Amino acid sequence: MAKLSKRRDSVVISQLSPLVECGAYPAKRIVGERFRIEADLFKDGHDVIVARLLWRKKGEDDWREREMHHLDNDRWGADVVADEPGEYHFRVLAWPDSFQSWLKDLRKRIDGGQEDFLTEIEEGRIILNDTALRAATAKSSREADDIESITTRMMKTPPADVPGLFDDPEVAALIARWPDLTLASRSGKKLRVRVEEKRAGFSAWYEFFPRSAEGLEGKHSTLRDCLPRVRYAREMGFDTVYFPPIHPIGVTARKGKNNTLTPEPDDVGSPWAIGNENGGHRSIEPALGTIDDFVWLVNEARAIGIEIAMDFAINCSPDHPYVADHPEWFFHRPDGSIRYAENPPKKYQDIYPLNFHCDEWQELWQEMLEVVLFWIDRGVRTFRVDNPHTKPVAFWEWLIAEIDKRHDGILFLSEAFTKPKMMRALAKIGFTQSYTYFTWRLTRDELIEYVTELTRGEMRNYFRANFWPNTPDILAVPLQNAPPSAFKMRATLAATLSTSWGIYSGYEFCENDPFPGKEEYNNNEKYQLKARDWNAPGNIKEFIRRLNGIRRDNPAFHFYENVAFVPFDNDRIIAYYRWSDDRSNLVLVLVNLDPENEQAGTVTLPLDEFGIDHGAEFQVTDLMYGDAYTWRESTNFVILDPASKPVHVLKVR
């Protein structure tokens, strides 16, 4: 007969969550955010199960403990709030509790009319004596004496009154502190959660081209000219300013205005075609200034609460120093020439992509790491990564891990508009935030389905959506030749459906001129200097400022998963609410999805979820426009006029 080498677990522990790729990658949460660790717990028989969540920060020796509570159908959970960034490890400890199982059965026997309890009371005495012994062994003689006193009282109490002795919470807690763990089970695989600083999950981005910072016709601005524009972004409530690449721009195959192949002598080229005789990824375009100018700007921006995000674009112009020094890092055609970038039918003759699978891949990967570290040393804490899906996932996993070993709090935004599984993989392996398909989700049903997928499905554990209604590459259809109401509508959706959002400059002026037949801007700023009157009439700067202020001042918008949709009997209006962790802050958002016409209908509110009594009057205050309304019951009539009030952002009191 086979001999068992050791006792098997008595309690089955399975289906731990949040678990990303079976624990291969940590789930993501934010400092101060309450999150739940769950597991299925069950065993043979009818014993009462008790469970503890064990957790500690990576590198700590001692485990902290938290009681787990039964949720439903053998599902258990415990809530945790981490007060500092870092990677946290979790395990579940569960056991059949002999005392509680005995007490439960005793109550059943009493309720069932049993008369003889001699054996049951003796079983209880033995269990309590063992409990006292465990306390004494742990050198807690006072608590051991207290347990013995309780045992003595029990033996003198009529059996029918014995359960009442243990209704005292202090007595119950005393006994619970000394459980019998002989049959305890412990989850084998630790569950990991990466807790990051708040800006990793809550942020507002503003993108502008430094070379057009002053908005003067034909004038190339410098990095020092950018400070007023950074302040301008701050005044609108943004906390992150993102610059397209600021490195030297190639001359060979330089693109002209509107991506033409025949540039004029004064054309400035695409900043994504990086590198010329003045340097590559560790250099600054001379027309912008110097590295010292950049460091100065980063420090000035941080002093007013703005982080400067650098574009990490792994592109090389034909003039990049890498081409001469490391031709082996590039793709080559059969004739030996270096292949330029293509995304058929698009051609990027001014860009040579690097081959991350070349024979010298280790040297190439190391060089890219050194580039990121170079800019971190000069104050950059945020990187917007250009097209990461065109480089190996393994490269990003390695690079981000190497950065994490050396520096805390470095944020990476993935600009990967590509297949869903690649976008998810990049988020799993370390990207802090991700661009999304929000730009192309237009109808109410599309928005509800997509946001539900992001915040209710498994993606919520690792994919942090950053919603952008426009980018330099994308003038989406809803904004083409559209009125200001469309820009207000899409901004409100982006800013209130996710905890991070961003706009590319010109959005506040409702720039809406498309290149014919494409989702792109005409006279695209990617290829030319852009003249703008930064105080032009007809702008929606005040609307955006108020929108960002509402987000900042209401904790309901700080929690990624806390969004729920409510019924509205007109599909041209979308309605949803967000809430703070303690439900003290609750905001209802209604958006007219029709930028041309007034829409109206009835919203149906979940009063029980809101904590409002049926029949009671309650007030909602429009945080955007200042109006207050008195509502009653769950159904209320709403009108949204795109010309005056295309949205409601209602604080529920």
Q: Is 253 contained in some domain? A: no
Conformational region of residue 232, where left means phi above 0, alpha means psi within -120 to 50, and beta covers everything else: alpha
- Residue that has been written with the tokens 């690449």 in this structure: 245
Could you give the CA distance from residue 646 to residue 491 in angstroms, rounded to a whole number?
A: 11
Residue 330 included in any domain: no
pLDDT at 556: 97
Residues 446, 505 within the same domain: yes
How far is the C-alpha of 2 from the C-alpha of 397, rounded, in Å?
Answer: 45
Q: Tell me the C-alpha to C-alpha distance, in Å, between residue 357 and each of 179, 271, 274.
A: 56, 25, 21
Question: Is the pLDDT at 9 greater than 90, yes or no?
Answer: no
268 inside domain: no
Q: Side chain identity at 151, as an amino acid letter? A: T
- Residue 115: which pLDDT band, with cuts at 50, 70 and 90? confident
Q: Containing domain of residue 67, as a range?
A: 11-195
Look at residue 444 and tell me if it is in a domain.
yes
> Pick from 195, 215, 231: which residue ends a domain?
195
Q: Residue 582 pLDDT > 90, yes or no? A: no
Q: Would you please indicate which residues are annotated as catalytic (active-site) residues?
A: 386, 415
- Residue 335 structure tokens: 């004739």
Band (6; pLDDT cuts 50, 70, 90): low
Question: Is the domain of 498 the same as that of 535?
Answer: yes
Q: Which residue has the tokens 């010329």?
A: 276
**191 vs 87: CA distance, rounded Å:** 10
Confidence of residue 8 (pLDDT cuts 50, 70, 90): confident
- Indicate the residue among 154, 170, 195 that finishes a domain: 195
CA–CA gap between residue 356 and residue 389 (Å, rounded): 12
- For 309-348, what is each residue's pLDDT tens digit? 999 999 999 999 999 999 999 999 999 999 999 888 888 9
Average pLDDT over residues 206-223: 97
Q: Find out whether 69 and 104 touch, Cβ atoms under 8 Å.
A: no
Look at residues 175, 126, 130 and name the one whose alpha carbon lies nearest to residue 155: 126
Mean pLDDT, the chain, whole residue set: 95
Nearest residue to 576 via CA among 471, 497, 510 = 497
Cβ atoms < 10 Å from Cβ of 115: 8
d(CA 53, CA 37): 8
339 in any annotated domain: no
Question: How far, in Å, CA of 391 to CA of 276, rounded?
Answer: 23
pLDDT band at residue 190 under the 50/70/90 scheme: confident
Percent of the chain with pLDDT over 90: 95
CA distances for 272 relative to 243, 275, 280, 455, 507, angstroms: 11, 9, 11, 33, 21
> Within this chain, do residues 434 and 465 fall inside the same structural domain, yes or no?
yes
* CATH number reported for the structural domain that contains residue 517 in this entry: 3.20.20.80
How far is 227 from 464, CA to CA, in rounded Å? 29
317 within some domain = no
Do 59 and 171 have their domain in common? yes
Summarize pLDDT for 59-114 with one digit per residue, the tens.
999 999 999 999 999 999 999 999 999 999 999 999 999 999 999 999 999 999 99
Tell me: do 65 and 182 sit in the same domain.
Answer: yes
Residue 235 sits in the same domain as residue 379: yes
Which residues, 6 or more positions from 21, have their beta carbon under 8 angstroms from its beta carbon? Answer: 428
Residues counted in the chain: 653
**Three-state secondary structure of 367-417:** HHHHHHHHHHCCCCCEEEEECHHHCCHHHHHHHHHHHHHHCCCCEEEEECC
One domain for residues 439 and 529: yes
* Residue 159 near residue 125 (C-beta atoms within 8 A): no
Q: Print burial letters for 46-80: b (CB count within 10 Å at least 16), e (below 16).
A: ebbbbbbbbbeeeeeeeeeeeebeeeeeeebbbeb
Give the number of C-alpha atoms closer than 13 A to the C-alpha of residue 455, restricted to the C-beta side: 20
pLDDT band at residue 383 under the 50/70/90 scheme: very high
Residue linked to tokens 């029709």: 594
- The verdict on 135 and 233 lying in the same domain is no
Model confidence at 188, pLDDT cuts 50, 70, 90, reads: confident
Same domain, 412 and 443: yes
Query: Given this model, what pLDDT does residue 1 score?
Result: 45
Q: How many domains does the chain have?
A: 3
Same domain, residue pair 573 and 549: no
pLDDT, average across residues 341-356: 91
d(CA 623, CA 178): 53
Q: What is the mean pLDDT of residues 374-390?
A: 98
Give the burial class of 414: count Cβ atoms within 10 A of its Cβ; 0-12 exposed, 13-18 middle, 19 or more buried.
buried
Instruction: Say if residue 4's pLDDT is above 80.
Output: no
User: Three-state SS across 52-116?
Assistant: EEEEEECCCCCCEEEECEEEECCEEEEEEECCCCEEEEEEEEEEECHHHHHHHHHHHHHHCCCCC
Same domain, 420 and 451: yes
Q: What is the pLDDT of residues 477-535, one digit of tens each?
A: 999 999 999 999 999 999 999 999 999 999 999 999 999 999 999 999 999 999 999 99
Q: Answer yes or no: are the C-beta atoms of 162 and 154 closer than 8 Å.
A: yes
What pLDDT score was predicted for residue 48? 96
- Residue type (1 letter), 491: A
Contact 266, 362 (CB under 8 A): no
- Cα 27 to chain centroid distance, Å, stands at 10
Task: Indicate if 507 and 585 belong to the same structural domain.
Answer: no
**Torsions phi, psi for 52 (to 5 deg):** -125, 140
